[in-house]
Every structure is written in structure tokens, then in C-alpha cells.
């Protein structure tokens, strides 16, 4: 009887088996790596209506975060400042170069607020409260990165659930004294010791159960 298949097909089953094992593993790895917020979301830096530079304000001038984001200690949200806040300085500063502060002057004169574009977005089903974190020593930079070095604000951390859990499970690795919350580039040598002290001092038990954030 004549052969139905050419000789190379002898090896086909082995190759197909090996190939599908590699392929399936590649799929799992690709989804795990490329579909994660760490890959898709980090570095998101939308164009803002005003070319506001955090490098100048928070970096060179050393302004405290809370000068503008005033509600962060009392509120769920770290608010975006009103034009009023900008005008505190810019009614005198940079008025000689009106092209730099055009947008806020216009907003101030017309009463139309500036529509900033949101950078850090959490899903609606995740409850997050700024005051709960800031008041027990989670630094601004822990989640937002080195804002003082950002010409244009971008998302520095993945903000994924796994990333939240990294800190909620071991808060002592990330905590700092409440007075240092807005410090940029904060570092101590004995972080774990300091952290453990803070955990007991503030009586911190970061929730790691579902209803901690989803309800």
C-alpha cells in the first residue's frame, strides 16, 4: 500500500506537542506581562490645558504639596486647586510674561475653571481614600512618584490591586512619620524599624480582605 504521508510527518506529533506547550505558556506569560497595568498604564502622561510644571513649583521652589492640594488630609480626594490658589502668587509673579500664565488669567477673568485632565484613575469599584493614607504616614511619592521632577505629571506606579497589596501586606516597608508625608526623596536606613514603630503607634492594620476596598 502506498504511503499516505511524506516522511517528515513522523516528527509532526512530537513537534506539535512541544509547540503547543510552548505556545500555551507564552499566552499565559504574555497576558500576565503585557496586559498588566504595569505595562499598559505606567507612564501615562496626558496633555494638560495649562503647561504647569511640577519641576518648577514642587522642585525648584520647594512648595509643599498641601499648598495646592489642600484637602488631602481631610478628604477622600486630593483636590486640584482652584484658580484662586494660582492667583495667590500669579497676580504678581510672572505677570511681566503674560504668555506663560495666559490660561489662569483668562480663567480668573471669566470665572471658567480650568479643566485639568485626570492622570491617576482607579476603577469605580475600588474605594480609595487619601486622608486614610496621608494621616498615617503613606508618603505622596510612594504612589505618585517623584512629582518634583515631573515637567508633566505622569503615572509612575501601576495602581493595580497587586501593587496595593504589596503595601497593605507589609506596610512597615513603606511608612514614614506623618510630618514627612509630603517630603520628596525621603529615605532612612532603618526603614523596617521605623516602619514597625509607626505601625504600632498609629495602630495600623491595612485591610487585605475584599471588603476593605470593594463594597
Partner 1 sequence: MSKTYEYVPEPALVKGNHDFKDITAMITDINIRPTPKGWYVAFGIANMLLLLLLGSIGYLVWEGTGIWGLNSPVGWGWAIINFVWWVGIGHAGTLISAILFLFRQGWRTAINRFAEAMTIFAVMCAGIFPAIHVGRIWVVYWMFPLPNQMLMWPNFNSPLLWDVFAVSTYFTVSLLFWYVGLVPDLATVRDRIKSKIGKMAYGVFALGWRGSNRHWWNYEKSYMILAGLATPLVLSVHTIVSFDFAVSIIPGWHTTIFPPYFVAGAVFSGFAMVLSLMIICRKIYGLEDIMTIDHMEKMNIVVLVTGTMVGFAYIMEQFIAWYSGVEYEKFIFMMRAAGPYAWAYWIMFACNVFSPQFFWSKKLRRNVTFTFIISIIVNIGMWFERFVITVTSLSTDFLPSSWGYYSPTIWDVATYVGTFGLFFTFFLLFLRFLPMVAVAELKGVMPQADPHNYDEDGEFVPPKVEVPEPYKNQTNQ
Q: Are 184 and 141 in contact (CB under 8 A)?
A: yes
Q: What is the rounded distance in angstroms from the CA atom of residue 196 to the CA atom of residue 14?
A: 55
> Minimum CB separation from partner 1 for residue 160, in Å?
4
> Minimum CB separation from partner 1 for residue 133, in Å?
19
Q: What is the rounded distance in angstroms from the CA atom of residue 34 to the CA atom of residue 32?
A: 6
Residue from 59, 145, 158, 177 in contact with partner 1 (CB under 8 A): 158
Say if residue 94 is exposed, middle or buried (CB neighbours under 10 Å; 0-12, 13-18, 19+). Answer: middle
Q: Are 175 and 136 in contact (CB under 8 A)?
A: yes
> Minimum CB separation from partner 1 for residue 214, in Å?
11
Q: Which is nearer to partner 1, 148 or 157 (CB)?
A: 157
- Find the largest Cα–Cα distance for the chain: 98
Q: Are 172 and 195 in contact (CB under 8 A)?
A: yes
Residues 6-65 that bind partner 1 (CB under 8 A): 9-10, 13, 28, 31-32, 35-38
Q: Which is nearer to partner 1, 28 or 109 (CB)?
A: 28
Which region among 1-9, 129-137, 143-151, 183-191 touches partner 1 (by CB under 8 A)? 1-9
Residues lying near partner 1 in the complex (CB under 8 A) are found at: 1, 4-5, 9-10, 13, 28, 31-32, 35-38, 158, 160-163, 165
Amino acid at each position: 500500500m502506498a504511503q499516505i504521508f511524506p516522511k517528515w510527518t513522523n516528527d509532526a506529533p512530537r513537534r506539535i506537542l512541544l509547540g503547543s506547550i510552548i505556545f500555551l505558556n507564552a499566552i499565559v506569560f504574555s497576558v500576565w506581562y503585557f496586559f498588566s497595568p504595569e505595562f499598559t498604564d505606567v507612564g501615562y502622561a496626558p496633555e494638560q490645558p495649562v503647561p504647569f510644571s511640577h519641576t518648577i513649583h514642587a522642585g525648584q521652589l520647594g512648595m509643599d504639596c498641601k499648598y495646592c492640594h489642600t484637602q488631602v488630609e481631610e478628604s477622600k480626594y486630593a483636590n486640584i486647586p482652584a484658580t484662586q490658589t494660582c492667583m495667590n502668587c500669579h497676580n504678581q509673579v510672572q505677570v511681566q510674561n503674560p504668555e506663560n500664565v495666559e490660561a489662569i488669567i483668562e480663567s480668573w477673568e471669566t470665572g471658567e475653571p480650568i479643566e485639568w485632565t485626570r492622570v491617576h484613575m482607579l476603577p469605580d469599584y475600588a474605594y480609595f481614600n487619601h486622608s486614610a493614607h496621608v494621616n498615617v504616614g503613606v508618603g505622596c511619592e510612594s504612589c505618585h512618584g517623584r512629582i518634583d521632577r515631573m515637567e508633566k505629571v505622569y503615572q509612575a506606579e501601576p495602581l493595580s490591586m497587586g501593587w496595593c497589596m504589596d503595601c497593605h501586606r507589609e506596610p512597615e516597608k513603606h511608612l514614614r512619620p506623618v510630618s514627612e508625608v509630603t517630603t520628596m526623596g525621603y529615605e532612612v536606613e532603618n526603614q523596617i524599624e521605623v516602619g514597625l514603630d509607626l505601625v504600632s503607634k498609629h495602630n495600623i492594620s491595612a485591610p487585605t480582605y475584599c471588603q476593605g476596598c470593594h463594597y
